[in-house]
Structure 1
């Protein structure tokens, strides 16, 4: 099979694009949320790293699914943010800081 210079250049460009890191995919995304359990009523504030998207709608789905296994029900997602805003949230979230 004969490759022209154009084909070789195109293949090289595609390989280079695949090899470069994708900054959007590498960006860390977090959400802080409030959740509850009934009987007896218990509430918690938590911070979670997101893996399924970085919008509030994505966060609601992911947080609800991950905390459900321990019997928690999501009340609301307060915010979605990057790693630069993590500072100071550990003391507020306590045992629920990056737990799930």
Structure 2
């Protein structure tokens, strides 16, 4: 009985750590286009473990917005899905666009 309880707890811990490792991560950013000058604020999903600001996140966001002809000005923040809904309205058409 003791071994089955330990096995069950071990399985639960593995499942919990696996779900945490695959948690969604997002970045909000500001970008621009020249001639004429246009600015936008957007939100993108990024792959970052842990879900925090890094050079790799900034590089990934820059590449993705560049594919749409935009130049990244700055990554504002990196956050998990708990902050996502609050930024949706502000990002408008650039919400999860890139």
Give the TM-score normalised by the residue count of structure 1.
0.73
CA contact (8 A) 1:52 1:62 kept: no
For 2:66 and 2:20, the matched residues in 1 are separated by 28
CA contact (8 A) 1:36 1:74 kept: yes
Structure 1 unaligned blocks of 5 or more? 1-15
Corresponding position of 1:38: 34
**Unaligned segments of structure 2, at least 5 residues:** 1-10
CA drift at 1:70: 1.2
Counterpart position of 2:62: 64
Per-residue Cα deviation, 1:8-48 (whole angstroms, up to 9, x for no partner): xxxxxxxx7xx856234311100000000001100000001
Larger Rg: 1
Q: Aligned partners of 1:27, 1:89: CA distance in 2, in Å?
A: 18
> How many residues are treated as equivalent by the alignment?
83
Q: What is the deviation of 1:60?
A: 0.5
* Aligned counterpart, 1:27: 23
**Alpha-carbon separation, structure 1, partners of 2:88 and 2:34:** 25
Q: Residue in 2 aligned with 1:55?
A: 52
RMSD over aligned Cα, in angstroms? 1.8
- Runs of 4 or more above 6 Å deviation: none
